[in-house]
Structure 1
Amino acid sequence: MSKGTPSFGKRRTRNHLLCPRCGDMSYHKQIRRCSSCAFPEAKRRTRRSLKAQRRTGQGTGRMRYLKRVHRKSKSGFKEHPILAELRN
C-alpha cells in the first residue's frame, strides 16, 4: 500500500473528543489533554502580542453595529421627526 493520497482516504477515526472544561472538540483521546485549555492541567492562557491584538481586535472586522452607533453619535442620537411620529 502506498503512503500518499490513497492512504488518506482510510483515516476515519477520531482523535479528539469534547473537552469537559471548555467544551471544544480539542480533548485528545490518547494524550488525555485538551489542546485548547490544557485540561486536566492548569488553564492554558494565550499570550497575544500587541501586534496580534491589533490584527484581531475590535475595529478590524465588519463592525456592523458600531459603524451605525458612530454615525448616530455625530448628530447626538437625534431622530428624524417623521420617523419619531410614526413610532408614537
Structure 2
Amino acid sequence: MVGKSLFKGVMDAVGEGCWPWERKRRKERRGTTKGTSSFGKRHTKTHTLCRRCGNRAFHRQHKTCAQCGYPSAKLRSYEWGQKAKRRKTTGTGRMRYLKDVSRRFKNGFRCVH
C-alpha cells in the first residue's frame, strides 16, 4: 500500500503522470492545435470588394486594395512582377476607344458630322 500512495502523490504533482510514453502523448496533443482546428475559427472577412478593380482584395482595416492599390491615384504595379503587368496592360480588355484611333489616324482625324 505504501508504494501505491507514493505513486498517487507523483501523479498529483505532475498532473498526468511522469512516464515517458505519457509525456510523449502530451507533447503530440500540444503540437496538433496549429492545424485543422485553428482553420475552423476563420469566419471573419479581412478583404472585401474593391471599387476600382472589383476584386475581393480591399483590406477593411488597412483601407487599401491589395490588387490595384486603391485609393492611391496610380495603379499598383511592380517591376519584379512582369507577368502581372502583362495580365493588366493595354490590349487585355475590349479597348473600346483605342481600337478606333489607328483607323482615324490614317484618315487624318476627319470630323464626320
Which has a greater percent of helix? Answer: 2
Asked which structure has the greater CA Rg, the reply is 2
| TM, length-normalised to structure 2 | 0.39
